Amino acid sequence: MRESFLSAEATAAIAAEADAPVDREKALERIRHELREAEEALQVTLLGEVLTAGEGRREVSAMSPTGPGGGPAVRKVTMLLPSKEDVSSLIAKRHEQKLRVEKPEEICEILEKYLKEKYLGK
């Protein structure tokens, strides 16, 4: 696993993606899409299963922070939150699977090195 994280190919792929020029038009189009006037419901999945309304689940709504051209917010996004039972069953399934990381210290070292080199070192 360490070799996969620190391989020349992985480093080159990360560097190429980080140094790629930003397509300004695509970025502006995404921002326009996210700020446009609309009401949208986000689909939430839990363990590969799409959450549906009811069954003790709450629905939350949020407005975009700003509107087009810095005007008032005109976009509303809603999503379902998992219920207490959903989270309890998820935790129970994880305990049943007995998921385990063989060498967590090694993974921490790799991730810490990546963080220092790619983000904090710049």
pLDDT tens digits, one per residue of 15-41: 888 877 888 899 888 888 877 888 888
Does pLDDT of 45 surpass 80? yes
By CB atoms closer than 10 A (0-12, 13-18, 19+), residue 45 is exposed
Tokens representing 58? 């709450």
Give the Cα separation of 115 and 8 in Å (integer): 17
DSSP string for residues in 24-71: HHHHHHHHHHHHSSEEEE---EETTEE--S-TT-EEEEEE-SS-GGG-
Q: How many domains is the chain built from?
A: 1
Q: Can you give the pLDDT at residue 121?
A: 67
Dist. CA 20–CA 12, nearest whole Å = 12
**Per-residue pLDDT averaged across 50-77, rounded?**
84
Q: For residue 25, give its domain range.
A: 2-120
Q: Is 76 helix (H, G, I), strand (E, B) or coil?
A: strand
Give residue 25's pLDDT: 92
pLDDT confidence bin for 74, thresholds 50/70/90 = confident
Looking at residue 11, its pLDDT comes to 81
